[in-house]
Amino acid sequence: MEAPNIVKMSAEVPVEKYEKERLAFFYETMFKIRKFERTVEEKFLGGEIPGFVHLYIGEEAVATGVMANLTAKDYIESTHRGHGHTIAKGADLNRMMAEIYGKKTGYCQGKGGSMHIADFSVGMLGANGVVGGGYNLAAGAALAQKLQGKKDISVVFFGDGASNRGTFHEAANMASVWKLPLLFVCEMNEYASTTPYRTATAVADIAQRAYGYDMPGIIVDGNDVFSVYEGAKKLIEHIRAGNGPAFLECKTYRVKGHFVGDPEKYRTREEVQKNIDERDPIMFFEWKVTQAGVYGQEEMNAVQAKVDAMIASALKFAQESPEPAASELFTDLYV
């Protein structure tokens, strides 16, 4: 059954019509996330990084396309797979890398790690190790924005697995009743850790659930940054006009294990490789702009060189930073 206010959509604006700065933001942000995460993966496997990391590689177009519609005053709530959202929202790469390294110069003085990074100065309210823990925090932030009479909005990112939590339904209902300025962004990447999506989710398109809460929904190819950008744009216009929440479902794919070190026994290498070869969001962007002749190889090389230098310097900063002192173990902690 298809809900009438939920539509599938692809980018409608020809690539030639995009401003240069917009294309540069798309490429630089996606490349920054990819390079940052490749570095984290390599250093984690090399034993330099403690704790646990979940990678966003292959899903970069979602964070990038949504964030291109936001300002630093708009809020986001992220997930356990939060590096991409945090980078796209404009957080500091040095402090992020240092936090992942458990160093004193990190966002939580090295005591939070990958899943607790937040930067209120850019509207990034936090990653969240509790699956489905972000909805109500984002609804609260959106309520505050509404009560303060602001035009700013809140965005909550969540996975297909998280969409099955009761917290989604509670937040979606109240957000709709109170017409909160809240965008739900579902990252449908086919798996919730080891669970394939259709074995635990009743609907073919998660966006269908928006119908039950009287909000509009758009479904896009989450690996096409142009479609994500335009889908989010339409819904954000609706939200900023005071019409209440909306739902964006981005169909993507998690090409890396659930966490670094996951043996991935629940899927075949062929399936993963097919998605890497045929659906990579960065390769897709490069193909699209090259075809349209609007963003040249030289420009892409310059972005890559710039990003390489940024990541190298973030890595050096993290590696050379001190660890927090044992005497600070309980400072800033609620115990």
Ligand X SMILES: Cc1ncc(C[n+]2csc(CCOP(=O)(O)OP(=O)(O)O)c2C)c(N)n1
CB-CB neighbours of 325 under 10 Å: 10
Closest CA to 188 of 174, 209, 167, 169: 209
Using the minimum distance from each CB to ligand X, give the nearer residue, 57 or 98: 57
**106 or 159, CB closer to ligand X?**
159
Q: Is the CB of residue 253 less than 8 Å from the CB of residue 280?
A: no
Segments of the chain assigned E as strands: 6-8, 75-77, 154-159, 182-188, 191-192, 195-196, 217-221, 246-251
Q: Which one of 185-193, 235-243, 309-317, 325-333 is the stretch in contact with ligand X (CB under 6 A)?
A: 185-193
Q: Interface with ligand X includes 191 (CB under 6 A)?
A: yes
- Asked if residue 288 binds ligand X (CB under 6 A), the reply is no
251 binds, among ligand X, Mg ion, none (CB under 5 to 8 A by kind): none
Q: Which two tokens stand for residue 324?
A: 């927090």
Phi, psi of 183 (to 5 degrees): -105, 125
Q: Buried (b) or exposed (e) across 165-181, using 16+ Cβ within 10 A?
A: bebbeebbebbbebebb
Nearer to ligand X, 132 or 324 (CB): 132
Residue 277 identity: D
What gap in Å lies between CA 132 and CA 144, rounded to an integer?
20
Note whether 164 binds Mg ion by CB under 5 A.
no
Coil, helix or strand at residue 141: helix
> 189 or 321, CB closer to ligand X?
189
Task: Determine phi and psi for 247, rounding to 5 degrees.
Answer: -130, 125
Shorter beta-carbon distance to Mg ion: residue 93 or 210? 210
Determine the number of helices (DSSP H) and then strands (DSSP E) in the chain: 10, 8
Asked if 251 touches ligand X (CB under 6 A), the answer is no
Tell whether residue 238 is a contact of ligand X (CB under 6 A): no
Can residue 160 be called a binding residue for Mg ion (CB under 5 A)? yes
Does 39 participate in binding Mg ion (rule CB under 5 A)? no
Nearer to ligand X by C-beta: 101 or 191? 191
Residue 159 engages Mg ion in binding (rule: CB under 5 A):
yes
**Interaction between residue 159 and ligand X (CB under 6 A):** yes
Q: Judged by CB under 6 A, does residue 80 bind ligand X?
A: yes
Q: How many residues bind ligand X (CB under 6 A)?
A: 17
CA gap 124, 152 in Å, rounded: 13
Pick the closer one to ligand X by CB: 181 or 217.
217
Strand-pair partners of 119: 124
Map residues 115-144 to x or -, x wherever contact with ligand X holds by CB under 6 A.
--------------xxxx------------
Q: Which of 162, 174, 235, 260 binds ligand X (CB under 6 A)?
A: 162
Residue nearest to ligand X (CB): 159
Regarding 63 and contact with ligand X (CB under 6 A), the answer is no
Query: Looking at beta carbons, which residue is closest to Mg ion?
Result: 159
Separation in Å, CA 163 to CA 83, 158, 188, 210: 20, 7, 9, 11
Q: How far is the CB of 28 from Mg ion (least distance, A)?
A: 26
Report the interface residues with Mg ion, using CB under 5 A.
159-161, 189, 192
* Contact residues for ligand X, defined by CB under 6 A: 80-81, 129-132, 159-162, 187, 189, 191-193, 254, 258
